[in-house]
Structure 1
């Protein structure tokens, strides 16, 4: 039996390389098709009582820019973001038990009244954090550390999906989903894409990514318990092997 083909859409940096290597270790044939390119803005967070980080990418950028924590209470959405902060010498004071923006608002709402809160994230974050923290009485500002653009090379996974030639596909953020579907729209191939994915095991990280997939008329077959790429890959490949038995 030939190796299953699994498309991976991680950003066009070390993450796509690591993802390919990990998928190969699971005995599948990876189709690397980065749907995101990181475009730094050059901005760094202003000093505040609280500073919230939502991604490893944002942590990398502020560390390289020499951001100083001083007496700021640092918050991280997700264990991976928290680990990235600690690896770069920052102390992490708050990690919500639920790795979502809503979970962080719940964690902070009793403490931030009258406090300044800086959001250090991409230019594409939802309004949940801003609205929730303002409702809790915080003075909120936001620094856009980077934008996410679609690489000009993206699209191989769409072609294979349209032809029904993917055994699995891994969506790691709502933005990867929107770029994937944008390509299908440009090719006037949305209906054939939806049909082609019917026999593909679709894996998604987190509820926002799942909602983005569902919004475009596609179904998510597997979603890991954590926002961890290795677990996403493992559960998706496991499901593929079960369906091929």
Structure 2
């Protein structure tokens, strides 16, 4: 996009970054890296009615196992996860209209004695598991990976923080890592944007307020920031 004006500078901290062209100067510093965990492979030796996939990271770490296990259906939590699954060669049988755990639970039908495989981060919220168990499903949980701070990105954020107009967060883990290295005061005068109510609540626990797009996607957040910063 050709322009003579000085673009507003935005730091995006989420791990995966693929957005449409924007009228912003975007710096990508993925604040979280992910490390795969060992788990008991014997848990996979059965037939599952559903495999519930809640993130692109799960696809990355679990796609090879998904090729080897017996399952009937795959449920995805939303658009980004579905895209990753399809690109990896898998068919998605369910995706909620609202890309959140709450939206998933409102629309996903759990039957009694259903066997559900649930691979995810070891720091996932218990919400989804409790929902499925409450409806008498047998849930096989896999602690598949865990988040760790990205040192290079944290250094990049520190070097640019006082020159930016906005910063974005897309997960509670990212918020917690940031706040381990920075203070609330470091965000004064900076527009803070979040994806999802849980991420926004994590920031609020540190006393930081944020704005949030209606749709929980990176493109929606970038569009919101374009309007917010360029008015």
Normalised by the shorter chain, which TM-score bucket? 0.7 to 0.9
Question: Which residue does 1:6 correspond to in 2?
Answer: 10
Question: Which residue does 1:93 correspond to in 2?
Answer: 93
Question: Which residue does 1:173 correspond to in 2?
Answer: 171
Question: Which residue does 2:77 correspond to in 1?
Answer: 77
Residues 112-159 of structure 1: per-residue CA shift (max 9 Å, x gap): 211111112122110001111111111112112221110122143246
How do 1:58-73 residues align onto structure 2 when only pairs under 5 Å count?
58-65=58-65, 67-68=67-68, 70-73=70-73
Q: Aligned residues, how many? A: 222
Post-superposition offset of 1:225: 2.2
Question: Which residue does 1:150 correspond to in 2?
Answer: 149
Instruction: Measure the CA separation in 2 of the matches of 1:32 and 1:101.
Output: 26
Name stretches of at least 5 consecutive residues in structure 1 with no aligned partner. Answer: 185-189
Structure with greater strand share of residues:
2
Question: Which residue does 2:125 correspond to in 1?
Answer: 126
Instruction: Measure the CA separation in 1 of the matches of 2:194 and 2:184.
Output: 21
Instruction: Measure the CA separation in 2 of the matches of 1:66 and 1:117.
Output: 13
In the superposition, the TM-score normalised over structure 2's length comes to 0.85
1:49 counterpart SS class: strand
Matched, 1:203 2:193: yes
**Contact kept in structure 2, 1:69 and 1:90, CA below 8 Å:** no
**Contact kept in structure 2, 1:51 and 1:117, CA below 8 Å:** yes
CA 1:191 to 1:100, structure 2 compared with 1: closer, same or farther past 3 Å? closer
Matched, 1:230 2:219: yes
Instruction: Measure the CA separation in 1 of the matches of 2:85 and 2:12.
Output: 26
**Contact kept in structure 1, 2:11 and 2:164, CA below 8 Å:** yes
Question: Which residue does 1:30 correspond to in 2?
Answer: 26
Instruction: Measure the CA separation in 2 of the matches of 1:172 and 1:30.
Output: 15
CA 1:57 to 1:200, structure 2 compared with 1: closer, same or farther past 3 Å? same
CA 1:87 to 1:31, structure 2 compared with 1: closer, same or farther past 3 Å? closer
Name stretches of at least 5 consecutive residues in structure 2 with no aligned partner. Answer: none
**Contact kept in structure 2, 1:120 and 1:142, CA below 8 Å:** yes
Residues 53-83 of structure 1: per-residue CA shift (max 9 Å, x gap): 0011211222244524644221110122122
Superposed CA RMSD: 2.3
Instruction: Measure the CA separation in 2 of the matches of 1:116 and 1:65.
Output: 17
Instruction: Measure the CA separation in 2 of the matches of 1:237 and 1:57.
Output: 27
In the superposition, the TM-score normalised over structure 1's length comes to 0.80
